Structure 1
Amino acid sequence: MKLASLKEGGRDGTLVVVSRDLSRAVKASAIAATLQAALDDWSNTAPRLNALSDELNTGSAAGAFALDMAALASPLPRAYEFVDGSAYLPHVERVRRARGAEVPKSFYTDPLMYQATSAGFLGPRDPVVVPSEDYGIDLEAEVVVVTDDVPMAATPAQASEHIQLVGLVNDVSLRGLIPGELAKGFGFLQSKPRSALSPVLVTPDELGDAWQGDKLHLPMRTWLNGAWFGEAECGVDMQFSFAELVAHVAKTRPLTAGTIVGSGTIANEDTGKGASCLAEQRTVETLRDGHPSTPFLKFGDRLKIDVTDAAGASIFGSIEQRIEPYSR
């Protein structure tokens, strides 16, 4: 099934079930008011939501309506926790090679992750609002999973059973602020503003053979100002599966239902697939030419992120955003 949230009903939106082709939706208020409420009682709500999804896809759901992507908030307008990884080591290797540094051996056996911003997510059609272009505005096209309650010290095999939803995220980064923050030795803060989730989150069974080994095996397609930018393969060069990432986060603490875990920017060893963030493209250019030539995002720029099935149909709905200046 596919789930989304309308921009109504309060800060956490109103839960809707979305048709497989993303054309129609039906409110799930009789089952759960919000997606977070559904996740809090997933063992009871999931079967009922699945039944409503079946009715919607067969055309028998009462109250179904045409879906307007602009009316959607983030599926989870806010979450208890968002932890993001860097599971695609070709990206890490290139960035470090560009500055003459080696990748620590531990990176190949222990996931690199950080605590991201979860207090609010942008809607899939909301603008990315930033105070200054000088901050080095960048997109990061990633895959995310959403869990139900995960017990502390869960193994990867156990963690796999708690992955309930899959989606996309534009993990906005402000590259100009990152070096100064990392130099303090305490991680990201100002350099990581709010991100945007895909219009819908889907259960793994919706992905069929494209979901194997707790990884998504489809290309991540990105466009900038209408021009192709990249289509890196999500299932290739991912050092750690989502089950391993979830288990890593849960090593010393239980995870609350609604926890979002990100893959990190999709990147392949084969640079012919393009990139999923500007920093990656600039690194490739630096290694090849001695300097970057692709600028970071400017006000007025437009981005699009999408994953499609074998027939070319969008699975999660596309993230489409414009970069705009912040104004009080």
Structure 2
Amino acid sequence: MKLVTFRRSGEALHEARAGLLLPFGVIDLSAAAPLVFEDWSGDERIDLLRLLEGDERGLSLDSAAEIANAVIEQIGGPLDVVRDELAPDEADLAGSLSIGGQELLLPRSEVRLLAPLPRPRSLRDFFAFEQHVATTRGQQGRSVPEAWYRYPVFFFLNHQAIYGPDEAIPMPQTEQLDYELEVACVIGREGRNIAPDEALDYIAGFMIMNDWSARDIQREEMRVGLGPAKGKDFATSLGPWLVTLDELEEFAEADGRWRLEMVARVNGRELSRGNLGDMYHSWAAMIAYASRDATLYPGDVLGSGTVGGGCILELTPEAVGGWLAPDDVVELEVTGLGTLRNRIVYG
């Protein structure tokens, strides 16, 4: 499944709710829930965090799939779609599909996608790619610390500063704005001191993550000996949707990694290319370490860290034409996970 958080034109932000993305539209899970839950109240709203947490009635990611199947069964015959002349393989519903007065299936053109989790419970970012660590430390004349190979270290990011697909990123007070090409997993079950051989069962799905960084500020802060603070406090982009593991089976490796090609473009020009499967620390190791003497909850987000070559800092601004600036458009594309696009605007 591809799970999204969306709102329709004219709706307030607090009306955002969870949906399931189809090739030709978005299923409104709140509107379609009565197809599965007989006692469902018409004004109840399902958001993604509620799906992850579940409830006593059986609401869960599994029930989201049941709701989607029920909608598809109701469709019955062919749908009236509109094709894009510039992209003839893409189609959108010509109008909403209503059953019993409820609009269950909406055209993609009528919804605004937000970050899948606009307010995660928490946001950790790891440092899992050896190439990224070796290159950035090598630029400072330092080697990779021995401890890095033993511990999948992480820091906390601001989980209240989340931006979604196509959302404008206000330019922070920096001269050296950078993107970071990453993938994030979302925790789907509560757990503490999780064993590595059980850790993958705690993943609800994956999405693209851009850990925006103010490198000049970060550089000064980290000389103090703590992790980055204001250098990363202003924005993290997530999206465009959360993809469950069943959709990524063809890319799964026996060692618990996924071979997903990762690409970053600035103003249409490719700057970075790497692969998620090149992580030194596995997702299982990261989840086990994050849960050591601490409880992970549904809706917690864990970032992979930057793939090798996945930021301007590594590539050097001299080689790519400088740091990011207002009006630049940054696109992160990952196999199976879509494209996360943001424009930088004057703050």
What TM-score does the superposition give when structure 1 sets the normalisation length? 0.85
Note the alpha carbon deviations across 1:152-180, whole angstroms, 9 max, x for none.
21111222111111111111111111111
Q: What is the distance in 1 between the residues matched to 2:249 and 2:115?
A: 24
Bigger fraction of residues in strand: 2
| 2:92 paired residue number | none
> Secondary structure at 1:161's aligned position in 2?
helix
The size of the alignment, in residue pairs, is 302
> Secondary structure at 1:111's aligned position in 2?
coil
Name the amino acid aligned to 2:312: L
The 5 Å alignment of 1:196-275 reads 196-212=237-253, 213-236=255-278, 238-267=279-308, 275=309
Runs of 4+ in 1 over 6 A off after TM superposition: none
| 1:25 paired residue number | 26
Q: What is the distance in 1 between the residues matched to 2:218 and 2:337?
A: 30
Cα RMSD of the aligned pairs, angstroms, is: 2.2
Q: What is the distance in 1 between the residues matched to 2:118 and 2:284?
A: 24
Note the alpha carbon deviations across 1:244-295, whole angstroms, 9 max, x for none.
111111001111110000100111xxxxxxx32111111xx8xxxxx76641
| 1:91 paired residue number | 132
| 2:17 paired residue number | 14
Q: What is the distance in 2 between the residues matched to 1:231 and 1:16?
A: 30
| 1:52 paired residue number | 67
Q: CA deviation at 1:53?
A: 3.2
Q: CA deviation at 1:187?
A: 1.6
Q: What is the distance in 1 between the residues matched to 2:340 and 2:117?
A: 14
Q: What is the distance in 2 between the residues matched to 1:38 and 1:279?
A: 38
Name the amino acid aligned to 1:200: W
CA contact (8 A) 2:3 2:243 kept: yes
Q: What is the distance in 1 between the residues matched to 2:241 and 2:119?
A: 14
Q: Of residues 191, 212, 217 in structure 1, which corresponds to 2:231?
A: 191
Which protein shows a greater Rg? 2
Name the amino acid aligned to 1:65: L
| 2:189 paired residue number | 149
Q: Does 1:37 align with 2:78?
A: no
Q: CA deviation at 1:10?
A: 4.1
Name the amino acid aligned to 2:281: F
CA contact (8 A) 1:133 1:297 kept: no
> Secondary structure at 1:295's aligned position in 2?
coil
Q: CA deviation at 1:150?
A: 3.2
Name the amino acid aligned to 2:338: G
Name the amino acid aligned to 1:206: E
Q: CA deviation at 1:108?
A: 1.0
Q: What is the distance in 1 between the residues matched to 2:110 and 2:245?
A: 22
Q: Of residues 210, 220, 223 in structure 2, which corresponds to 1:170?
A: 210
